[in-house]
Structure 1
Amino acid sequence: MATSPVSSPDQSSAPSSVRPSPLLSLPGAVAAEAPDEGVAAHYGDPLREQRRLAEGRGFVDLSHRGVVRVSGPDRLSWLHSLTTQYLTGLKPGEATLTLVLSPHGHIEHAMYAVDDGEALWAHVEPGTAPALVAFLDRMRFLLRVEVEDVTDAYAVVFEPVPEPLADAAGPPARVTADGRELFLPRADLAAFGAEHADPAGMWAYEALRIAAHRPRVGNETDHRTIVHEVGWIDTAVHLDKGCYRGQETVARVQNLGRPPRRLVFLHLDGTEEKLPATGAPVELDGRPVGFVTSAARHHELGTIALALIKRNTAVDAVLRADGVPASQEVVVPA
């Protein structure tokens, strides 16, 4: 499969209209830029906010993300047939990550989902819920499912507490080893911010995501990205399930083992103040071998980044990311 190793990420799905969060009125809030408009980049001290999240304190306003709700008795078997994950028999409260691929196996959507026993709730990248819902609606046929874009009614909030809510009647919550993502009624968002201490912004949240090597659609992906390149084959794809859109590409690359690119974690030279821009070139000996997908300043690791580079780039090679020297840490094996 031919791909360009220096193509920049496709962020054309960014929201055309931004809904500012009421939590931008909290003390010290500074608004984030694309693709995270509408929520806070930080509340005055992003490194301190990172440390608090790492210690299991605080919360992050993710209300700019899209929210999709799928109900009906056929919802799990139907989504199982359309996406990469094994969803038949998904238990209430069990978190999952599933992908929608193009017919050629390129990543289109990542659904961070949980089923509450009556409906499956998923949050997706900002501005992408309408396109996802439109696709799913076209695939319903005569099945007993209903698909809704409920972004106007619900907002996502992250808490670094990897435990279910004590109140079983509370909002739907997607609980993982990193914390829990609450699907709050949007009308309750301001009250949540007033009642909870230590807000953290997207700079802190993104720095921890990058340090954990977690890809994000629109940053670590472009219109040609396949699951093997970014490491989602282990966490978002079930290899022993029936046919779904894009499965042929997944199976072929899995069997042949030749993805054209690989995701890599970069430790950047700390003497440089420059933070590489998303889409900036990654070079080896003056030759482009890939591009920066995300970068941040981490409270312990310093300046860090994720990048997509040519698969055959030596894993011990010292690269330059947007002109800054950078050593590699393997995420996807060469």
Structure 2
Amino acid sequence: MAIDTFFAFLGVYSDVDDALADYEAVKDLHVEAGLLDRSGRPRITVTGGEAAEFLQGQVTNDVEALEPGAGCYALLLDRKGRIRADMRVLRLAADAFLIDTEPELGEDVLGHLGTYNIGRDAAVTADPEPRSLLSLLGPMAAKLLGGAISGPEHAHRELLVAGVGCRAAATAAGADLLVPAAGADAVRDRLLAEGAQPVAEDAAEITRVEAGRPRVGLEIGPRTMPAEAGLEERAVSFTKGCYIGQEPVARLHYKGRPNRHLRRLRASAPVAAGDPVTADERELGAVGTAVVSPAGGPLALAILRREAEPGDEVAIGADATATVEAIDA
């Protein structure tokens, strides 16, 4: 990374040590591998002869088409097509799925699935196995796992790390390891010994904003539809059967145009979550996540009214301006 870019990054920090720590952490995620403990993500199992058919009618993606060892990203919607939760769905076997979601969404997802499965051969339970979730983030993640994880995002398989049986799932940023809780320390120690660097959630958030991936509870609010969050390609199947919220999502996709779009904002100065985004004194939306990137300086993600087109200049809060950027699906 160029020295002038780094010192521009340093200039938004009041403490040099804090700036250096974040610089090193984000560098690890760009060129090496960082290790982040995400064990707080709730996990839910859905098992039984009708598990696939049941989930197919609840979430937006085509889980019934998944083979064991494959997975997908999916959404749980309300009947108006607005996002309630997002999740990763891994198919473990013909009759078994493992779901994980954001910490604050676990009870809602578990409660919903546990209500709608009545009369179905589809048992919904909080993951009965005590497991830790360790995320390897960065281009060296696959090498640290001996090349054992490859393929599309969410592909998964069992493997041994430090003699501990784990399930490794490919992610856009590297790989996630589901590890029996009793073996988590041994796995963590092995990965650190082989070159992974411990990183904090703040560093991972910088790379998420750089990549333009929205998060429920931040960019995605209770009135957000998949198209507005740029999630149709990743999370929605338009060829599967019915699911809750399908009609308004399909109607918007085929006959309408979203009123809002997910945008990245390249700001003139650091901004904060919740800051209003305006143009010509008209409010277009609010910042969902704000970070300072070593590579890109102050950045933010926001879902904005469609008047905010790529290349436009907008105001954020009282003191900052920003250039609006499109985000690839």
Confirm or deny a common fold (TM above 0.5): yes
The 4+ residue runs of structure 1 with deviation greater than 4 A are: none
Structure 2 SS opposite 1:85: coil
> Contact 2:39 / 2:133 at 8 angstroms: preserved in 1?
yes
Structure 2 SS opposite 1:128: helix
User: Residue by residue, what CA displacement relative to the aligned partner does 1:300-325 show, whole Å, maximum 9, x if unpaired?
Assistant: 11111101111123433211223311
> Contact 2:308 / 2:324 at 8 angstroms: preserved in 1?
no
Report deviation, 1:43.
12
Q: Choose from 22, 31, 48 the match for 1:72.
A: 48
Q: Choose from 140, 147, 169 the match for 2:117.
A: 140
The question of 1:241 aligning with 2:248 is answered no
Report deviation, 1:158.
0.9
1:251 maps to 250
Q: Choose from 272, 276, 301 the match for 1:277.
A: 272
> Contact 1:113 / 1:174 at 8 angstroms: preserved in 2?
no
The question of 1:126 aligning with 2:97 is answered no
Q: 1:87 to 1:296 in 2, by over 3 A?
A: same
Structure 2 SS opposite 1:65: coil
Q: 1:166 to 1:189 in 2, by over 3 A?
A: closer
CA–CA distance in structure 1, aligned partners of residues 240 and 305 of structure 2? 30
TM-score of the two chains, using structure 1 as the length reference: 0.80
2:308 maps to 313
User: Residue by residue, what CA displacement relative to the aligned partner does 1:148-167 show, whole Å, maximum 9, x if unpaired?
Assistant: 22388223211132552672
Q: How does 1:176-215 map to 2 (within 5 A)?
A: 176-197=171-192, 198-215=197-214
Q: Return the structure number with greater relative CO, CA threshold 8 A, min gap 6.
A: 1
2:170 maps to 175
The question of 1:61 aligning with 2:18 is answered no
The question of 1:260 aligning with 2:259 is answered yes
Q: 1:92 to 1:55 in 2, by over 3 A?
A: farther
CA–CA distance in structure 1, aligned partners of residues 227 and 65 of structure 2? 26
User: Residue by residue, what CA displacement relative to the aligned partner does 1:73-115 show, whole Å, maximum 9, x if unpaired?
Assistant: 3222211111100111311221310110001111011111212
Structure 2 SS opposite 1:207: helix
Report deviation, 1:185.
2.4
Q: Choose from 40, 52, 65 the match for 1:89.
A: 65
Structure 2 SS opposite 1:116: strand
List runs of 5+ in structure 2 lacking aligned partners. Answer: 1-17, 143-147, 150-156
CA–CA distance in structure 2, aligned partners of residues 80 and 228 of structure 1? 20
User: Residue by residue, what CA displacement relative to the aligned partner does 1:178-224 show, whole Å, maximum 9, x if unpaired?
Assistant: 21112222333333333332111111111111111111111111110
Structure 2 SS opposite 1:253: helix
Structure 2 SS opposite 1:234: helix
Structure 1 SS opposite 2:53: helix
Q: Choose from 322, 326, 334 the match for 2:322.
A: 326
Q: 1:43 to 1:131 in 2, by over 3 A?
A: farther
CA–CA distance in structure 2, aligned partners of residues 180 and 137 of structure 1? 29
Aligned residue type for 2:234: T
Of stretches 216-225 and 50-59 in structure 1, the one that deviates more from structure 2 is: 50-59
TM-score of the two chains, using structure 2 as the length reference: 0.81
Q: 1:244 to 1:47 in 2, by over 3 A?
A: same
Structure 2 SS opposite 1:68: strand
Select the structure that is richer in helix: 2
CA–CA distance in structure 2, aligned partners of residues 166 and 130 of structure 1? 27
> Contact 1:116 / 1:172 at 8 angstroms: preserved in 2?
no
Structure 1 SS opposite 2:217: coil
CA–CA distance in structure 2, aligned partners of residues 151 and 240 of structure 1? 33
Q: 1:301 to 1:283 in 2, by over 3 A?
A: same
1:99 maps to 75
CA–CA distance in structure 2, aligned partners of residues 167 and 262 of structure 1? 40
Aligned residue type for 1:49: A
CA–CA distance in structure 2, aligned partners of residues 286 and 227 of structure 1? 28
Q: Choose from 157, 165, 180 the match for 2:134.
A: 157
CA–CA distance in structure 2, aligned partners of residues 151 and 53 of structure 1? 32
CA–CA distance in structure 2, aligned partners of residues 204 and 92 of structure 1? 33
Q: 1:245 to 1:166 in 2, by over 3 A?
A: closer
Structure 1 SS opposite 2:26: helix
Aligned residue type for 1:73: G
Report deviation, 1:328.
1.2
Structure 1 SS opposite 2:165: coil
- The sequence identity of aligned pairs, in percent, is 28
Q: 1:72 to 1:192 in 2, by over 3 A?
A: same
> Contact 1:67 / 1:154 at 8 angstroms: preserved in 2?
no
CA–CA distance in structure 1, aligned partners of residues 158 and 19 of structure 2? 28
Aligned residue type for 1:267: R
2:154 maps to none
CA–CA distance in structure 2, aligned partners of residues 91 and 235 of structure 1? 18
